[in-house]
Amino acid sequence: MEKNPAAGLEETHLQLFGMIVQRFAAHELLVQRIMAHALGTHAAPVMLLTRNLPFEGKCKALLDLMRHGKVPLDKLDRVNAYLKVPLARVRLRNDIVHSVWIVADEPNTIQPNWILEPLPRVRPIHAGASASQADFSENDEEKFAYSLADLREIAAALENNRAAFAAYLDEAGLIDAF
């Protein structure tokens, strides 16, 4: 029996989806502003040049540009650390943008509709070769069902990271004033 995509989704889910997507956009703008600063230009030309790159591609291009520009390793490491927060959630962002969401089997959670027909895959065992199915542990890349609390936590983590990242970039002189 096919699940109704609208059943179980609340307005709060949609608001949190919007917050998460916007927080990715804010991170993306910071990435483009760093590139513009490194190139000695405004953000608009960088936005035009990178608009067709996925978020991961923009981050890789930024790190490559910083390496090429011989940015000190400590600054490069800090930028990379800040980028790891949204990069860890790219799958969720892509599912929000490209999937219809439905109620999951887990109580009070929703999931992308494509999960109803998952492709077979190898699951890592995190407890050793003699582990049973109960010993499998889900990591962020394997998580597909989200509660409202999960989505709130993710949106808050993305916003906190964005704010700290922007403050660091300003302090380190890696972006120009807006």
Q: How confident is the model at residue 36 (pLDDT cuts 50, 70, 90)?
A: very high
For the segment 159-177, the average pLDDT, to the nearest whole number, is 96
Q: How confident is the model at residue 114 (pLDDT cuts 50, 70, 90)?
A: confident
For the segment 14-29, the average pLDDT, to the nearest whole number, is 97
- Dist CA 152 CA 26 (whole Å): 17
Can you give the pLDDT at residue 6? Answer: 55
Q: How confident is the model at residue 177 (pLDDT cuts 50, 70, 90)?
A: confident
Q: Which residues contact 11 (CB under 8 A, 6 or more apart)?
A: none
Can you give the pLDDT at residue 25? Answer: 97
Given phi > 0 = left and psi -120 to 50 = alpha, else beta, which region is 130?
alpha
* pLDDT (tens digit per residue) in 62-76: 999 999 999 999 999
- Give the global pTM: 0.82
Over pLDDT 90: what percentage of the chain? 67
* pLDDT (tens digit per residue) in 124-156: 444 444 545 544 444 445 678 899 999 999 999
Q: How far is CA 44 from CA 37, 80, 96, in A?
A: 12, 23, 26
